Amino acid sequence: MRSLLKHALLILGAGVMIYPLLWMVASSFRPNDLIFREAGLVISQVDWNNYPSGWNALSEPFSKYLMNSAILVLGCILGNLVSCSMAAYAFARLDFKFKKIMFALMLMTIMLPIHVIIVPQYIMFSQIGWVNTFWPIIVPKLLATDGFFIFLMIQFIRGIPKDMDEAARIDGAGHPRIFLQIILPLMVPALATTAIFTFIWTWSDFFTSLIYLTNPSNYTVQVALNAFIDSTGESNWGALFAMSIVTLVPVFLAFLFGQKYLVKGIATTGIK
């Protein structure tokens, strides 16, 4: 009885949580006037037009923005994987001067509001002509500025037995080889977590893209969606919903296939 009540409660909660999303999917197939009249999920009159009309609503087809977002995401994933794993190896396995203070600085950058660096960064990048390129967003990732991922990887490397390194060292391997041939292959789960989180966060990022990408041909999907709201106002909800779904699908897929790593990653940085 108790357990039945609990399941009823959980199903109700899950339903309330997920209903808006399902309704948005349903509404993206509805003609505009019906969106405001049908609160249910049954589509009485299917309108396929929302997708093509949204796809071509801006100066470039939506595929362009998807491509821009994809390039940006790939660059950021690559940057984070390489730079954060190198830094993590140093913090987890090496003994060096000022380690403590550097480690503390690294942890504090996780908590630093981005706003305090965005203005000078913008000035700096605009002076070297990088506004309206992807570099202002990718280059910081190449320079290991995402402390969250360094920390996640440090936690993971600490869990790898040190015997492995020692054995390799006795065989004459230096740190670069230990890192590349022993640690990296063993930390694939942490790398996967980093890749998936970077994917979702970069794909969803709006603030930095809004600031750096002002030319329509450089828009990411998020900025494009915002431009779409500006251009049509609230007159074309169907098409707006359709393109919203298009921008959410990649995140949803990343969540679906990467959930194991997301749960593990977030739990280990929080707990152990």
Residues in region 191-220 near another protein by CB under 8 A? 200-201, 204-207, 210-211
| Nearer CB in complex with another protein: 13/61 | 13
Quick one: which of 46, 113, 163, 172 contacts another protein (CB under 8 A)? 113
| Nearer CB in complex with another protein: 71/267 | 267
Quick one: which of 46, 96, 163, 170 contacts another protein (CB under 8 A)? 96
- Tell whether residue 163 is a contact of another protein (CB under 8 A): no
Quick one: which of 34, 70, 78, 107 contacts another protein (CB under 8 A)? 107
Quick one: which of 72, 76, 150, 153 contacts another protein (CB under 8 A)? 150
Quick one: which of 95, 129, 171, 172 contacts another protein (CB under 8 A)? 95
- Tell whether residue 261 is a contact of another protein (CB under 8 A): no
Quick one: which of 229, 231, 253, 257 contacts another protein (CB under 8 A)? 229
Quick one: which of 225, 236, 239, 261 contacts another protein (CB under 8 A)? 225
Q: Please choose, out of 54-62, 67-75, 107-115, 159-167, the segment that lies near another protein by the rule CB under 8 A.
A: 107-115
CB of 42 to another protein, least distance (A): 14
Sign of the alpha-carbon dihedral angle for 251, 256, 261, 262: positive
- Tell whether residue 120 is a contact of another protein (CB under 8 A): yes
Contacts within 8 Å (CB) and 24+ apart, 85-91: 85/153, 85/179, 85/184, 85/187, 85/191, 86/144, 86/179, 87/144, 87/150, 88/149, 88/150, 88/151, 88/153, 88/154, 88/156, 88/157, 89/153, 89/157, 89/175, 89/179, 89/183, 91/150, 91/154
Quick one: which of 50, 68, 236, 247 contacts another protein (CB under 8 A)? 247
Cα distance between residue 93 and residue 150, in whole Å? 13
Q: Return the amino acid letter for 238.
A: G
The answer to whether 222 and 204 have CB atoms below 8 angstroms apart is yes
Q: Please choose, out of 46-54, 66-74, 159-167, 243-251, the segment that lies near another protein by the rule CB under 8 A.
A: 243-251
Provide the 10 A C-beta neighbour count for residue 213: 23
Nearest partner of 198 among 137, 156, 123, judged by Cα: 137
Among residue numbers 24 through 63, which ones bind another protein (CB under 8 A)? 24, 35-39
| Nearer CB in complex with another protein: 161/270 | 270
Cα distance between residue 167 and residue 182, in whole Å? 10
Kind and range of the H or E run holding 181 = none
- Tell whether residue 235 is a contact of another protein (CB under 8 A): no
Cα distance between residue 202 and residue 249, in whole Å? 14
Provide the 10 A C-beta neighbour count for residue 224: 25
| Nearer CB in complex with another protein: 134/179 | 179
Question: How many positions of this chain bind another protein (CB under 8 A)?
Answer: 102
Among residue numbers 63 through 82, which ones bind another protein (CB under 8 A)? 82
